[in-house]
Protein backbone atom coordinates (compact mmCIF):
# COMPACT_ATOMS: atom_id res chain seq x y z
CA UNK A 1 0.00 0.00 0.00
CA UNK A 2 1.44 3.34 -0.98
CA UNK A 3 2.55 5.84 1.58
CA UNK A 4 -0.09 8.49 2.29
CA UNK A 5 0.74 12.14 1.69
CA UNK A 6 -0.39 14.61 4.28
CA UNK A 7 -3.50 16.45 3.16
CA UNK A 8 -4.31 19.80 4.73
CA UNK A 9 -8.00 19.31 3.98
CA UNK A 10 -8.13 16.18 6.12
CA UNK A 11 -6.30 17.87 8.98
CA UNK A 12 -8.93 20.57 8.79
CA UNK A 13 -11.65 17.90 8.71
CA UNK A 14 -10.26 16.43 11.93
CA UNK A 15 -10.60 19.85 13.56
CA UNK A 16 -14.15 20.13 12.24
CA UNK A 17 -14.96 16.68 13.59
CA UNK A 18 -14.07 17.69 17.14
CA UNK A 19 -15.91 20.98 16.72
CA UNK A 20 -18.95 18.87 15.85
CA UNK A 21 -18.32 16.88 19.04
CA UNK A 22 -18.59 20.08 21.07
CA UNK A 23 -21.88 20.87 19.34
CA UNK A 24 -23.20 17.39 20.15
CA UNK A 25 -22.20 17.81 23.79
CA UNK A 26 -23.91 21.20 23.98
CA UNK A 27 -27.15 19.78 22.59
CA UNK A 28 -27.27 16.40 24.32
CA UNK A 29 -25.30 16.58 27.59
CA UNK A 30 -27.11 19.76 28.60
CA UNK A 31 -30.52 18.16 28.13
CA UNK A 32 -31.55 20.83 25.62
CA UNK A 33 -32.82 18.41 22.98
CA UNK A 34 -35.01 16.55 25.47
CA UNK A 35 -37.01 19.60 26.52
CA UNK A 36 -37.71 21.06 23.08
CA UNK A 37 -41.26 20.50 21.81
CA UNK A 38 -41.96 19.31 18.27
CA UNK A 39 -44.19 22.35 17.69
CA UNK A 40 -41.30 24.69 18.54
CA UNK A 41 -39.26 25.73 15.49
CA UNK A 42 -36.11 25.58 17.64
CA UNK A 43 -36.73 21.83 17.93
CA UNK A 44 -36.25 21.44 14.17
CA UNK A 45 -33.28 23.79 13.97
CA UNK A 46 -31.32 22.06 16.72
CA UNK A 47 -32.23 18.53 15.67
CA UNK A 48 -31.04 19.33 12.15
CA UNK A 49 -27.78 20.69 13.60
CA UNK A 50 -27.57 17.46 15.62
CA UNK A 51 -27.95 15.45 12.41
CA UNK A 52 -25.16 17.38 10.69
CA UNK A 53 -22.87 17.08 13.71
CA UNK A 54 -23.44 13.37 14.30
CA UNK A 55 -20.78 12.55 11.71
CA UNK A 56 -18.12 13.69 14.21
CA UNK A 57 -16.91 10.34 15.55
CA UNK A 58 -16.96 8.71 12.12
CA UNK A 59 -14.96 11.60 10.65
CA UNK A 60 -12.33 11.44 13.37
CA UNK A 61 -11.87 7.70 12.83
CA UNK A 62 -11.93 8.06 9.04
CA UNK A 63 -9.14 10.64 9.06
CA UNK A 64 -7.15 8.60 11.57
CA UNK A 65 -7.47 5.53 9.31
CA UNK A 66 -6.46 7.47 6.21
CA UNK A 67 -3.22 8.61 7.84
CA UNK A 68 -2.22 5.22 9.23
CA UNK A 69 1.27 4.53 7.91
CA UNK A 70 0.87 1.09 6.42
CA UNK A 71 1.08 -1.53 9.16
CA UNK A 72 3.51 0.07 11.60
CA UNK A 73 2.66 0.25 15.29
CA UNK A 74 4.33 2.89 17.47
CA UNK A 75 4.52 1.94 21.14
CA UNK A 76 5.49 5.40 22.35
CA UNK A 77 2.65 7.09 20.47
CA UNK A 78 0.14 4.80 22.17
CA UNK A 79 1.84 5.27 25.53
CA UNK A 80 1.64 9.02 25.09
CA UNK A 81 -2.11 8.84 24.47
CA UNK A 82 -2.56 6.80 27.65
CA UNK A 83 -0.43 9.22 29.67
CA UNK A 84 -2.37 12.22 28.37
CA UNK A 85 -5.66 10.52 29.15
CA UNK A 86 -4.58 9.78 32.73
CA UNK A 87 -3.09 13.26 33.21
CA UNK A 88 -6.30 15.00 32.19
CA UNK A 89 -8.44 12.63 34.24
CA UNK A 90 -6.43 13.11 37.43
CA UNK A 91 -5.95 16.87 36.93
CA UNK A 92 -9.65 17.64 36.46
CA UNK A 93 -10.59 15.44 39.42
CA UNK A 94 -8.02 17.16 41.66
CA UNK A 95 -9.23 20.63 40.67
CA UNK A 96 -12.85 19.71 41.39
CA UNK A 97 -11.89 18.19 44.75
CA UNK A 98 -9.74 21.18 45.79
CA UNK A 99 -12.46 23.74 45.02
CA UNK A 100 -14.96 21.63 46.94
CA UNK A 101 -17.24 20.69 44.05
CA UNK A 102 -16.57 16.96 44.43
CA UNK A 103 -15.94 14.92 47.57
CA UNK A 104 -12.95 12.61 47.68
CA UNK A 105 -13.80 8.91 47.87
CA UNK A 106 -12.37 5.62 46.63
CA UNK A 107 -14.62 5.54 43.56
CA UNK A 108 -13.39 8.96 42.43
CA UNK A 109 -9.76 7.97 43.00
CA UNK A 110 -10.03 4.70 41.07
CA UNK A 111 -11.85 6.22 38.07
CA UNK A 112 -9.47 9.18 37.98
CA UNK A 113 -6.29 7.07 38.06
CA UNK A 114 -7.75 4.40 35.79
CA UNK A 115 -9.96 6.39 33.37
CA UNK A 116 -10.46 3.28 31.24
CA UNK A 117 -12.95 2.16 33.88
CA UNK A 118 -15.12 5.21 33.25
CA UNK A 119 -17.94 4.67 30.77
CA UNK A 120 -17.67 8.30 29.65
CA UNK A 121 -14.19 7.51 28.27
CA UNK A 122 -15.44 4.48 26.37
CA UNK A 123 -14.61 6.02 23.00
CA UNK A 124 -11.03 6.77 24.03
CA UNK A 125 -10.50 3.28 25.41
CA UNK A 126 -11.79 1.72 22.19
CA UNK A 127 -9.78 4.19 20.10
CA UNK A 128 -6.49 3.33 21.80
CA UNK A 129 -7.14 -0.40 21.47
CA UNK A 130 -8.07 0.13 17.82
CA UNK A 131 -4.75 1.89 17.08
CA UNK A 132 -2.99 -1.16 18.51
CA UNK A 133 -4.75 -3.72 16.31
CA UNK A 134 -5.04 -1.52 13.19
CA UNK A 135 -1.61 -2.54 11.81
CA UNK A 136 -2.68 -6.18 11.82
CA UNK A 137 -5.93 -5.30 10.05
CA UNK A 138 -4.04 -3.33 7.40
CA UNK A 139 -1.66 -6.26 6.92
CA UNK A 140 -4.67 -8.48 6.22
CA UNK A 141 -6.22 -5.94 3.85
CA UNK A 142 -3.02 -5.79 1.79
CA UNK A 143 -3.41 -9.48 0.97
CA UNK A 144 -6.94 -9.13 -0.39
CA UNK A 145 -7.77 -8.84 -4.05
CA UNK A 146 -9.99 -5.96 -5.09
CA UNK A 147 -12.99 -8.28 -5.37
CA UNK A 148 -12.35 -9.77 -1.92
CA UNK A 149 -11.90 -6.31 -0.43
CA UNK A 150 -15.16 -5.08 -1.93
CA UNK A 151 -17.04 -8.22 -0.79
CA UNK A 152 -15.68 -7.77 2.75
CA UNK A 153 -17.00 -4.19 2.81
CA UNK A 154 -20.47 -5.26 1.63
CA UNK A 155 -20.75 -8.02 4.25
CA UNK A 156 -19.33 -5.85 7.04
CA UNK A 157 -21.67 -2.94 6.32
CA UNK A 158 -24.67 -5.26 6.14
CA UNK A 159 -24.01 -6.68 9.58
CA UNK A 160 -22.92 -3.39 11.14
CA UNK A 161 -25.67 -1.14 9.78
CA UNK A 162 -28.70 -3.37 9.18
CA UNK A 163 -28.52 -5.73 12.16
CA UNK A 164 -28.08 -3.06 14.87
CA UNK A 165 -31.14 -1.29 13.47
CA UNK A 166 -33.26 -4.28 14.38
CA UNK A 167 -32.69 -3.75 18.09
CA UNK A 168 -30.22 -4.17 20.92
CA UNK A 169 -31.53 -7.65 21.64
CA UNK A 170 -29.71 -8.81 18.51
CA UNK A 171 -26.43 -7.32 19.73
CA UNK A 172 -26.65 -7.20 23.57
CA UNK A 173 -22.88 -6.71 23.99
CA UNK A 174 -22.89 -3.79 21.52
CA UNK A 175 -20.13 -5.43 19.50
CA UNK A 176 -21.57 -3.84 16.37
CA UNK A 177 -22.41 -0.47 17.94
CA UNK A 178 -21.21 2.75 16.33
CA UNK A 179 -18.54 3.41 18.96
CA UNK A 180 -17.09 -0.10 19.11
CA UNK A 181 -13.67 -1.32 17.98
CA UNK A 182 -15.44 -3.47 15.39
CA UNK A 183 -17.07 -0.40 13.83
CA UNK A 184 -13.73 1.41 13.76
CA UNK A 185 -12.21 -1.60 12.00
CA UNK A 186 -15.01 -1.58 9.41
CA UNK A 187 -14.34 2.11 8.74
CA UNK A 188 -10.66 1.26 8.30
CA UNK A 189 -11.51 -1.38 5.70
CA UNK A 190 -13.65 1.13 3.79
CA UNK A 191 -11.08 3.93 3.95
CA UNK A 192 -8.22 1.73 2.78
CA UNK A 193 -10.30 0.56 -0.20
CA UNK A 194 -10.90 4.18 -1.23
CA UNK A 195 -7.22 5.00 -0.72
CA UNK A 196 -5.76 1.89 -2.35
CA UNK A 197 -7.87 2.05 -5.51
CA UNK A 198 -8.15 5.85 -5.64
CA UNK A 199 -11.95 5.67 -5.64
CA UNK A 200 -14.02 8.67 -6.74
CA UNK A 201 -17.82 8.61 -6.90
CA UNK A 202 -18.34 12.00 -8.55
CA UNK A 203 -16.41 14.07 -11.08
CA UNK A 204 -17.27 17.31 -9.24
CA UNK A 205 -16.09 17.71 -5.67
CA UNK A 206 -19.04 19.97 -4.80
CA UNK A 207 -21.35 16.96 -5.18
CA UNK A 208 -19.79 15.37 -2.12
CA UNK A 209 -20.67 18.45 -0.08
CA UNK A 210 -24.20 18.34 -1.44
CA UNK A 211 -24.30 14.66 -0.51
CA UNK A 212 -23.35 15.48 3.07
CA UNK A 213 -26.14 18.06 3.29
CA UNK A 214 -28.66 15.69 1.64
CA UNK A 215 -27.91 12.77 3.97
CA UNK A 216 -28.02 15.10 6.99
CA UNK A 217 -31.45 16.33 5.86
CA UNK A 218 -32.61 12.72 5.44
CA UNK A 219 -31.44 11.89 8.97
CA UNK A 220 -33.44 14.83 10.32
CA UNK A 221 -36.49 13.92 8.19
CA UNK A 222 -36.54 10.37 9.58
CA UNK A 223 -37.03 11.86 13.04
CA UNK A 224 -39.87 14.08 11.84
CA UNK A 225 -41.61 11.28 9.92
CA UNK A 226 -41.30 8.75 12.75
CA UNK A 227 -42.64 11.33 15.21
CA UNK A 228 -45.68 12.04 13.03
CA UNK A 229 -46.42 8.37 12.38
CA UNK A 230 -46.02 7.13 15.96
CA UNK A 231 -47.97 10.08 17.34
CA UNK A 232 -50.80 9.41 14.91
CA UNK A 233 -51.02 5.63 15.33
CA UNK A 234 -49.92 5.18 18.96
CA UNK A 235 -50.66 8.55 20.49
CA UNK A 236 -47.05 8.91 21.63
CA UNK A 237 -43.77 9.82 19.96
CA UNK A 238 -41.38 6.85 20.17
CA UNK A 239 -38.23 5.70 18.42
CA UNK A 240 -37.70 9.03 16.69
CA UNK A 241 -33.91 8.96 17.01
CA UNK A 242 -33.24 5.46 15.67
CA UNK A 243 -31.46 6.89 12.62
CA UNK A 244 -29.20 9.06 14.75
CA UNK A 245 -26.10 6.92 15.27
CA UNK A 246 -22.56 6.48 13.98
CA UNK A 247 -23.47 3.27 12.19
CA UNK A 248 -26.82 4.39 10.80
CA UNK A 249 -27.08 4.48 7.03
CA UNK A 250 -27.53 8.21 6.42
CA UNK A 251 -24.95 9.21 9.05
CA UNK A 252 -22.49 6.78 7.49
CA UNK A 253 -23.08 8.16 3.99
CA UNK A 254 -22.90 11.76 5.23
CA UNK A 255 -19.60 11.00 6.96
CA UNK A 256 -17.92 9.58 3.87
CA UNK A 257 -19.39 12.32 1.66
CA UNK A 258 -17.75 15.00 3.80
CA UNK A 259 -14.53 12.97 3.94
CA UNK A 260 -14.37 12.75 0.15
CA UNK A 261 -15.01 16.49 -0.15
CA UNK A 262 -12.20 17.48 2.23
CA UNK A 263 -9.85 14.85 0.79
CA UNK A 264 -10.03 16.49 -2.61
CA UNK A 265 -10.07 20.20 -1.79
CA UNK A 266 -6.98 22.30 -2.38
CA UNK A 267 -6.15 24.83 0.34
CA UNK A 268 -3.59 27.60 -0.05
CA UNK A 269 -4.90 30.06 2.53
CA UNK A 270 -2.26 30.56 5.23
CA UNK A 271 -4.95 31.24 7.84
CA UNK A 272 -6.77 27.97 7.11
CA UNK A 273 -3.49 26.04 7.02
CA UNK A 274 -2.67 27.39 10.47
CA UNK A 275 -6.15 26.41 11.64
CA UNK A 276 -5.56 22.88 10.38
CA UNK A 277 -2.57 22.63 12.74
CA UNK A 278 -5.09 22.33 15.56
CA UNK A 279 -5.61 18.73 14.39
CA UNK A 280 -2.79 17.64 16.73
CA UNK A 281 -4.58 18.92 19.84
CA UNK A 282 -8.31 18.55 19.14
CA UNK A 283 -8.49 15.19 20.92
CA UNK A 284 -8.48 17.23 24.12
CA UNK A 285 -11.99 18.38 23.25
CA UNK A 286 -13.26 14.88 23.96
CA UNK A 287 -11.01 14.10 26.92
CA UNK A 288 -11.87 17.27 28.81
CA UNK A 289 -15.57 17.49 28.00
CA UNK A 290 -16.25 13.80 28.68
CA UNK A 291 -14.54 13.64 32.09
CA UNK A 292 -16.85 11.59 34.32
CA UNK A 293 -17.05 14.30 37.01
CA UNK A 294 -16.77 17.42 34.88
CA UNK A 295 -19.23 16.66 32.07
CA UNK A 296 -22.48 17.41 33.90
CA UNK A 297 -20.93 20.32 35.79
CA UNK A 298 -19.81 21.91 32.53
CA UNK A 299 -22.98 21.52 30.48
CA UNK A 300 -25.73 21.54 33.11
CA UNK A 301 -24.39 23.86 35.80
CA UNK A 302 -22.00 26.20 33.94
CA UNK A 303 -23.22 26.45 30.33
CA UNK A 304 -26.85 25.45 31.11
CA UNK A 305 -28.50 26.21 27.74
CA UNK A 306 -31.84 24.98 29.11
CA UNK A 307 -32.04 28.28 30.98
CA UNK A 308 -32.01 30.19 27.70
CA UNK A 309 -33.87 27.95 25.27
CA UNK A 310 -37.02 30.08 25.36
CA UNK A 311 -35.08 33.28 24.73
CA UNK A 312 -33.86 34.66 21.38
CA UNK A 313 -30.38 34.77 22.91
CA UNK A 314 -30.18 30.95 22.74
CA UNK A 315 -28.53 31.10 19.30
CA UNK A 316 -25.83 33.52 20.43
CA UNK A 317 -25.42 31.43 23.57
CA UNK A 318 -25.01 28.33 21.42
CA UNK A 319 -22.37 29.87 19.14
CA UNK A 320 -20.41 31.58 21.92
CA UNK A 321 -20.45 28.53 24.22
CA UNK A 322 -19.40 26.04 21.56
CA UNK A 323 -16.56 28.24 20.27
CA UNK A 324 -15.29 29.16 23.73
CA UNK A 325 -15.31 25.63 25.12
CA UNK A 326 -13.74 24.23 21.96
CA UNK A 327 -10.88 26.74 22.07
CA UNK A 328 -10.30 26.32 25.81
CA UNK A 329 -10.30 22.53 25.49
CA UNK A 330 -7.68 22.70 22.73
CA UNK A 331 -5.58 25.11 24.79
CA UNK A 332 -5.58 22.89 27.86
CA UNK A 333 -4.73 19.82 25.82
CA UNK A 334 -1.85 21.69 24.17
CA UNK A 335 -0.27 22.17 27.60
CA UNK A 336 -0.91 18.53 28.48
CA UNK A 337 0.83 17.40 25.27
CA UNK A 338 3.90 19.47 26.15
CA UNK A 339 4.12 17.79 29.55
CA UNK A 340 3.44 14.31 28.17
CA UNK A 341 6.18 14.77 25.57
CA UNK A 342 8.67 15.49 28.32
CA UNK A 343 7.48 12.45 30.23
CA UNK A 344 7.95 10.29 27.13
CA UNK A 345 11.43 11.77 26.59
CA UNK A 346 12.37 10.77 30.13
CA UNK A 347 10.82 7.31 29.83
CA UNK A 348 12.49 6.67 26.47
CA UNK A 349 15.92 7.05 28.10
CA UNK A 350 15.31 3.88 30.08
CA UNK A 351 16.94 0.84 28.47
CA UNK A 352 14.33 -1.46 29.99
CA UNK A 353 11.43 0.57 28.56
CA UNK A 354 13.15 0.83 25.17
CA UNK A 355 13.70 -2.91 25.06
CA UNK A 356 10.08 -3.52 26.03
CA UNK A 357 8.94 -1.02 23.37
CA UNK A 358 10.99 -2.75 20.66
CA UNK A 359 9.61 -6.14 21.62
CA UNK A 360 6.01 -4.87 21.48
CA UNK A 361 6.62 -3.16 18.14
CA UNK A 362 8.15 -6.34 16.71
CA UNK A 363 5.25 -8.50 17.90
CA UNK A 364 2.53 -6.21 16.53
CA UNK A 365 4.37 -5.26 13.36
CA UNK A 366 5.46 -8.82 12.65
CA UNK A 367 4.96 -9.92 9.07
CA UNK A 368 5.45 -13.39 7.66
CA UNK A 369 8.07 -13.64 4.98
CA UNK A 370 6.54 -13.99 1.59
Domain boundaries, the chain: 8-364
Give, in order, the Cα–Cα distances in Å from 293 to each of 91, 96, 118.
Answer: 11, 8, 10
Query: Which of 12, 14, 34 lies closest to 299, judged by CA?
Result: 34
How far the first Cα of the chain sits from its last, in Å, is: 16
Q: What angle do CA 69, 72, 76 make, to 5 degrees?
A: 105
Could you tell me which residues come within 8 angstroms of residue 232 by beta carbon, excluding any fewer than 6 positions away? Answer: none
Measured in degrees and rounded to the nearest 5, phi and psi for residue 240 equal -75, -20
Q: Give the chain's length.
A: 370
Give the chain's count of helices (H) and strands (E).
17, 0
Measured in degrees and rounded to the nearest 5, phi and psi for residue 40 equal -85, 130
pLDDT tens string, the chain, 370 residues long: the values are: 444 446 899 999 999 999 999 999 999 999 999 999 999 999 999 999 999 999 999 999 999 999 886 556 777 788 889 999 999 999 999 999 999 999 999 999 999 999 988 888 989 999 999 998 998 899 899 999 999 999 999 999 988 887 766 555 455 556 667 789 999 999 999 999 999 999 999 999 999 999 999 999 999 999 999 999 999 999 999 989 989 999 999 999 999 999 999 999 988 888 888 888 899 999 999 999 999 999 999 999 999 999 999 999 999 999 999 999 999 999 999 999 999 888 888 877 777 666 766 766 666 665 444 4
What's the rounded Cα separation, in Å, for the pair 189 and 186?
5
Amino acid sequence: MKKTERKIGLDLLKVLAMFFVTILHYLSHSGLLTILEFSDYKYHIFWFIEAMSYVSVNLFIIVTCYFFKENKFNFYKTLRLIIEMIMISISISLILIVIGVVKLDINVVVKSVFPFLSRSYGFMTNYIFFTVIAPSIIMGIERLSRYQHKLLIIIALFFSIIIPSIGNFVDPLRVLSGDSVVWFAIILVCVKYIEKYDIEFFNKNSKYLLGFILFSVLTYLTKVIIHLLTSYYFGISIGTSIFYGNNKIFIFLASFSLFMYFKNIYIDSKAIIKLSNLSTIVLGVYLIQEHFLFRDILWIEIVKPVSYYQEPIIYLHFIFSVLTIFILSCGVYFLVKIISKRVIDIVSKSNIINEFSENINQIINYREER
